[in-house]
Amino acid sequence: MDFVAIVTPNHAHYGTAKLALENGFAVICDTPLCFNLKEARSLKRLVEKTGLLFALTHNYTGYPMVKQAREMVAKGRLGRIRKIVVEYPQGWLSTRLEATAQKQAAWRTDPQRSGIAGAMGDIGTHAENLAEYITGLQIVRLCADLHTFVKGRALDDDGSVLLQFDNGARGILYASQISAGEENNLRIRIYGEKGGLEWAQMEPNTLLVRWLDKPLEVLRTGGPSLYPVAAAHTRIPAGHPEGYLEAFANIYRNFAYCLRAQLSGKKVKAVYRDFPTVDDGIRGMRFIEKVVASSRSKQKWTKF
């Protein structure tokens, strides 16, 4: 056995990962990284001490067109980024589903297993990670409003956050599990000085590119003229759905390539060294804590 995959509820991440690392095993872990930021920082120190690989399954970063979007931003195609709008609405917790013994709802709405945030911890962290991953920017300040709509629920089921990024860009993040009728409608729009991008998880093969002085471009997975990083993460012929499981598979594959290279003393191509790490997990946990703190604060704007 070469690594441990952790797919448990949040409260069981840290202890399992700690034992695995202490016993010489690399780790790939579900999100969010830990139960709280203190655990996350402790885990990072252990990863650094052992030198073992650690991956986090922010699986939306595994989609080919997300890779394409990231590369377009990195190459300056959009110019300086000004605005980021990211949303993740779901509707499955519009009623008190956790009271019906539905296991997925039960642990996600339980502060003892989920942590201090509900919707914002479960799906808001994916929105935060996607915004930072594609743009290469980092959140530096935020102003949050969290709310619990379903009576009797202990954690937030809806939230909105204003964001400020380290290059001066502004953003809006919305995460909700009471948006009735929604499925997993993660969507991001990014606007720069020269143009904008739009990607939606429910139509993942398509990347829309808007320009100030040219017609709308529609880029498709497997299509011509995509960057090599997008092609390297395309698994099936163009026109076939390149979906959720393939995105997970890309993260697992890249992690496996890097682990195999580490074990054999060889090098792996840069394109395959791209997967979320413990550092992404730290930022996710900090995001959760800062959003909750901002929502409870009268001051509202909170340094990240």
Residue 150 is predicted with a pLDDT of 98
Residue 82 in any domain: the answer is yes
> What is the CATH classification number for the domain harbouring 102?
3.30.360.10
* 298 CB-near residues (< 8 Å, 6+ apart): none
Do 136 and 209 fall into the same domain?
yes
Task: Please state the domain count of the chain.
Answer: 2
pLDDT, residue 241, reads 84
Instruction: Establish if 68 belongs to a structural domain.
Output: no
138 and 267 belong to one structural domain: no
**Size (the chain), residues:** 304
Q: Give me the chain's average pLDDT, please.
A: 97
Instruction: Tell me, yes or no, whether 256 and 153 share the same domain.
Output: no
Note the pLDDT of residue 268.
94
- Kindly state whether residue 64 falls inside one of the protein's structural domains: no
Q: Is the pLDDT of residue 242 over 90?
A: no
Q: What per-residue confidence (pLDDT) applies to 225? A: 87
Alpha helices per DSSP H over 233-277 = 244-264
pLDDT of residue 87: 98
| Residues 290 and 267 reside in one and the same domain | no
The predicted pLDDT at position 255 comes to: 98
71-129: per-residue pLDDT in tens? 999 999 999 999 999 999 999 999 999 999 999 999 999 999 999 999 999 999 999 99
Q: Note whether 229 and 84 are same-domain residues.
A: yes
Q: Find the helix packing angle between 278-296 and 125-135, rounded to 10°.
A: 120
Please report where in the chains the tokens 């840069």 appear, as a residue: 270
Question: Residue 34 sits in a domain of what CATH number?
Answer: 3.40.50.720
pLDDT of residue 269 exceeding 90: yes
In this structure, the answer to whether residues 132 and 168 fall within a common structural domain is yes
In percent, the amount of the chain with pLDDT more than 70 equals 100
Q: Beta strand 26-29 with 54-56: parallel, antiparallel or unpaired?
A: parallel
Residues 209 and 269 in one domain: no
Q: Are residues 48 and 102 in the same domain?
A: no
**Could you read off the pLDDT of 32-81 as tens digits, one per residue?**
999 999 999 999 999 999 999 999 999 999 999 999 999 999 999 999 99
The yes-or-no verdict on residue 234 having pLDDT over 90 is yes
Is 262 part of a structural domain of the chain?
Answer: yes
Residue 200 reports pLDDT greater than 90: yes
Q: Which domain holds residue 42?
A: 3-59+242-277
Provide CB contacts within 8 A for 269, sequence distance 6+: none
**Is residue 183's pLDDT more than 90?**
yes
Residues 84 and 220 in one domain: yes
Residue 170 has pLDDT above 90, yes or no: yes
Mean pLDDT of 235-263: 94
Is the domain of 179 the same as that of 250? Answer: no
Q: Residue 196: what pLDDT?
A: 98
Determine, yes or no, domain membership for 67: no
Q: Are residues 248 and 232 in the same domain?
A: no
Q: Is residue 66 part of a domain?
A: no
pLDDT band at 260 (very low <50, low <70, confident <90, very high): very high
Distance CA 303, CA 187 (A): 25
17 & 89 share domain = no
